[in-house]
Amino acid sequence: TTTTTTTTSTSKAAAMESASLSSSASSFGFDPDLATAASALTLNATNLYELGVSEHQAMNVSWGLPMAVVTGCCYAVAANVASYVATQAERTGKSPPRTTTLLTDIAALAGYVVGGMIITVAYASGAAVPVVNATMVATNLLVNMVLQIVLGITYYNKEMRVGTMIFVVAVFQLATIGPAERGDVDIVEKFTAPLALGWTLALVIMLAVSSVLVVTTYDAPAESMHKICAWAISISVMGTATDNGASVFGMLRGVALASMMAVYFFMAGALLLLSAKAPAVCEASIYVPVQLCTQMVFNMATGFLVWEDQTRVHNPSAYLATFVICLMSVYSSSSGVDIMASGSVKLYAYTANFDRSHFGQSVIAVLNSWKRLEVDNSEEARAAASEALRTMLFNGSARGAFTDISLVQLAVALSGEASEYKATAQVVHWMENTPFFRKYTSGHPEFSEALRRSLSGDETLKLAHIQHGSQMDLDEDDQETNSDWSSSDADDGFKELMKP
């Protein structure tokens, strides 16, 4: 603000000086054209000075962004300390000692408290709240991914890794093209503007409605979208209030500052408790990205409708587009969230068009093939039923009707029904022909041998028939195989199968 005032005063002074110079030149008999040229040169020099000051301001990196990075690291470390202890206890089947649990909780709480204090100072630094918030979220996600991979807490697939990295790159771009620091402004004037009043009222209504839904849907399933959205909106509204409340600390003095800080710390404490509770009652893989995106949108809207960030952005379209990339990257990296698939499932549930879709037709084909098998058990009928089932599973998986977890549960259930979870020729054959195991067993043939030794004598013969395409009737060999099979025969059979 001081620099802007100075450059404006300098510009006015230069204009007055050039006018005075032109007038004095004429009175002393100098060439008016020469005086005009001197005036233009003076004004151009002043404009160049102002341009230099503006570029210096644009390139001046606020301390708010480095502090947002530190906060993201604190939050990620705090979350993964507790997660690592819980994961180890689940894997070993042993509950950690009370001392370990207590120290873990204290360390996690300390991380959140320290991070909260730092981000408060970051917002109060005057940097644009949406940019600071996005920087903190990007750092949190990046460090969280690194820690979870290194500590073996969670496997990050390609979508999650690429989505996180795109988010980091987009936030770097956001920090470059985002709003400049707003400086000292009239807070009362900003918040009493019509758009600001309307947006504030909308936030209050959303907080009230979502708070009611948080209570009424508390016992709903963790994956309920009504429940997840209620928690996400409620926490996001409170987060937006605390973020933007902290950003005015530097503009207040005396009683006004003390009152604002009292309200801020009360709301921040409630927000901390709710944020710690939400992942426990909601499906975390869905709740976390929904909440992050919601708060980013609310902060951006507050920046435009209250603080008029668009007046301090060189290219608002590029700024908004980068923000959309941030949101899409969070969505892409969240494997548990598929809005289109969820929407299509609900559409099928409430309309009569299910049988017209590709998935619906494949389900009907399976039902028809099952009915046909009741009266026709021929090879052709069985082949048609097999193909119909394969098509239905493929279409259901591609459209989100069948999740990866549900297909795994189906495979395990079928294994239990068919063999009481014992090794079978079909499972071993399937494992050996996956790209991963083909590559691994090519360099570790002993693993393939160990895998096949898990089969019984009958299943070893079945595996041989599957691999060699034999059409022998295994039922005729059952009695002879069961009577004289031994472990040595199994080893011999294994060696035979291992031959090229």
pTM (two decimals): 0.64
Name the amino acid, one letter, at 75: Y
- As a whole number, mean pLDDT of residues 445-473 equals 80
Selected residue with higher pLDDT from 62 and 425: 425
Residue 444 clears pLDDT 80, i.e. is over it: yes
Distance from C-alpha of 242 to C-alpha of 117, rounded to nearest angstrom:
12
Per DSSP, 103 falls in state H
pLDDT in tens, 179-189: 887 777 888 89
The set of residues, in sequence order, having a beta carbon less than 8 Å from that of 192 and lying 6+ positions away, is none
Q: Which of 217, 279, 268, 215 minimizes the C-alpha distance to 240?
A: 268
State the Cα–Cα distance between residues 267 and 285, nearest whole angstrom: 26
How far apart, in whole angstroms, are the C-alpha atoms of residue 126 and residue 348?
49
What is the rounded CA–CA span in Å between residue 296 and residue 289?
11
**pLDDT > 90: percent of the chain:** 23
The 3 state secondary structure assigned to 109-138 is: HHHHHHHHHHHHHHHHCCCCHHHHHHHHHH
Residue 42 banded pLDDT, cuts 50, 70, 90: very low
On the question of pLDDT at 5 being above 50, the answer is: no
Nearest to 210 by CA among 295, 304, 272: 295
pLDDT computed for residue 345 by the predictor? 60
DSSP 138-149: HHHHHHHHHHHH
Quickly state the pLDDT bin for 485 (edges 50, 70, 90): very low
Q: Which two tokens stand for residue 378?
A: 């021929």
Write out the two tokens for 147.
Answer: 């820690």
* pLDDT recorded at residue 88: 83
Name the DSSP class of 63: T
Burial group, residue 77, by CB count within 10 angstroms (0-12, 13-18, 19+): buried
Place 231 in a pLDDT band, splitting at 50, 70 and 90: very high
Structure tokens at 363: 């389900």
Least confidently predicted of 35-49, 72-86, 183-197: 35-49
What DSSP line would sit under 32-52, residue for residue? HHHHHHHHHHHHHHHHHHHHH
Q: Where does the pLDDT of residue 452 fall: very low under 50, low under 70, confident under 90, or very high at 90 and above?
A: confident
Per-residue model confidence (pLDDT) at position 298: 95
Contact of 274 with 230, CB cutoff 8 Å? no
Instruction: Convert the pLDDT of each residue in 106-138 to its tens digit.
Output: 888 888 889 989 998 898 887 888 889 889 988
pLDDT higher than threshold 70 for residue 396:
yes
